[in-house]
Structure 1
Amino acid sequence: MIILKVVLKIKGVDLMLKIGAHMGISEGLKNVPENSIKIGANSFQIFVHSPRTWSIKEPNNIDIDLFKEEVLKYKINKENILVHSGYLINLASPKEDTWNKSMKLMNEELRITNLLNIKYYNFHPGSHLGNGKEYGIDKISKSLDEILKNFENDDIFILLENVAPKGNNLGYSMKQLGEIINRCAFKNKLGITYDTCHGFDSGYDIRDKDDTLRLIDEINEYIGIEKLKMIHLNDSKFDLNAKKDRHEIIGKGFIGDDGFKNFLSFDEFLKIPLLLETPGDDSAHSKDISHIKNLLNLN
C-alpha cells in the first residue's frame, strides 16, 4: 500500500500537500479511497448519486461500513473529503415544486454524507430565475437555516461554491457568498469552496499577484478566510470574464501554468485540499496531479 506523503515547507512550517480529484462511484463507494491513492491523491470528491436526477438510493450498511474502513485503511483525513451536491438543486428557485424537490434532495444527500462520516458537503447556491438578487439571496439563506436545523448536532458543514456569472446565478462574487452566509443563523456550519475556473469566469485573475491578493482580501472581508475549506482546481477553456464555466486540464487553458504557480504560491490556498474537476478519467487526473507537483517542484 502506497500512501501519498508530499511535504511542503510554507513559511518555515512543514505541511503535507492535500490533493485529489472528483472520483466516480460506479465501481462502488468502497473503491474510492484505493482508486484515489492509485492516482497519487490523498483527498477526493464524490457524488452520492447520479447528479442529474432527483432520485437517490441510500447505500446499504455494508457499503457504508466498507467505505469508512477503506478511508481509515488508506489514512485519508476526513477533513480532505468532499461530497458534491446534485446539479438540479436550486435553493433560490421561485418555482415551488423545484424548491421543494431541492430541499428534499439536499436533506437526503446530507444524511448520506453524514452516514459516510464525511464532514464537508458542497453545493452551487442557485439561480433566482429572474426574481432578483435580493429575493434569491434571502431564499437561499432561509433554506439553509431550515436544512441545517436537521444537522445541528452533527459534524457536517455545508460549503457554498462560487459559480460562473451565467444567467441568474448567485454566488459568483465573494461579496454575494458572504451575503448569503451572514444572513444565516447557522453560519458556524457554513463555509466556501473556491473554484478557480468559475472565479476566472467572474474576473478574479489568479495569473496576477495583485488580483490574487484582491481575492484573498475579499474572502477575508466578506466571509473570513477561515471559512475557505476546499479548492476546486480547474483551468479554463475561455479567457478572463468569459462567463462560460468550461473546465480545462491544468496548464492547457487560459489560466495556464504561470497562473497556477502564482495561485499556489499563496499559503491561504496551498494549505487546504486541492480537488481537480478537470476533463478526463482517473488516468488524466493522475497526470494533472503529477503536473501540479512538478509546478511546485515536488516530484
Structure 2
Amino acid sequence: MSFLKIRWAQFLRELKSLGLFYALILISGIVATLWIFYQVQQKTEPRYGSMLFIVALILSIHLNRKDHRFIRLVAIQPFFVYISEYGFIAFIFVILSFLKSNTFTMFLLIPAVALISLINVNFISNAKSGWIARMIPASNYEWKSGVRSTGWFIPFLLLCGVLLAPLPFASLVICWIILALSISFYEQGESREMILSFMQSPRNFIVNKAGIHAMTFLICILPVLVANFIFFPDKWWLGLSFMLFCVINIAAFVTSKYAVWQHGQTNKSQSVLNSIGMIGLFIPFLLPIPIVNFIRNYRKATHNLRTLLNDFN
C-alpha cells in the first residue's frame, strides 16, 4: 500500500510538471480510454482482445521499468510490490468489464498479473538477441540500441501480433505497443561526429533519418500486417491508415529528438508529448497532435542542426 501511495505522489508530480493544458489532455485521454474499454466489453471478441492488450501492456511495463533494483533493495518481498501495482491497474479494468458484460472473462487478468509479477527480469538476456539488432541498418543506431536494450521483447510482441491476428484489431494494437516502446529510443543524443558522418544538410538529414526509421519499423511489423490482412481482407484500409499513423508519429519522434538535441545528452522532455500523440489511435481528437509536433519541431530541429551541418547546405 505504501508503494501505491508513492506511485500516486509521483503521478501527481509528473502531472504538475506537464502544465495545465497537457495535464488536461492526458487526463482526458485516460478517461476516454477507460470509456472506450467499457463500451467494447459487450461483445466477446473485443473483450478478449482488450484483455490481451492489458496483459501485453502490464508485461511491457514490467520488462521495461528501471526501478527493479530499487524495489529489490527496499522491499522484503518484491513480488508483493509488483502484484499490488499491477493488480491495481488490472482491478480497474476488471470492474469496468464486469459492470458492462456481467461475465468473469476479465478475472483471468488476476493469474496473468501474478505470473508477470514472478518474472525475474535479470534472467532475460539481451546479449542473445544481438543478431536481431544486426539486421537493422547502421544508420538507424537509435533502433539498434533500443532493440538490444529490450532484448527478446519486441520479437515476442511480433509473434503475439501474428498469433492474435484472428482477433479484430489485436495485431494492430500489438504494433502500436511496439511503436510506443520506441519513444524511449529517441531520448539519447548521439555525438557530433555521428551526425557529421552523414554529410547532409539539416533538412536532408531530418528527412532521410525519418524515412529510414519509418522503413525500418514498417519492415519490422510487415509479418503482423500481412497476417491481419489475411484474416480481415475487407478491412485493408485500416492497415494502410495505421501505416500512415505510424509514419507520421515516427517523423514526429525524429524531429522532436533533434529539436532539443545536445551532444551526448539524454533529453526526455519530448517523450510526454510523443506519448500523448500516440493515444490518438484510440482517441480521434488527439490525432492532430503528432502532425502539430512534427511541424513545430521540424523548424526547431533544422535550426538546431544548422551550426553543425551548415557546410553541407
TM-score (norm: length of structure 1): 0.32
**Which is helix-richer, 1 or 2?**
2
**Which is strand-richer, 1 or 2?**
1
Structure with the greater alpha carbon radius of gyration: 2
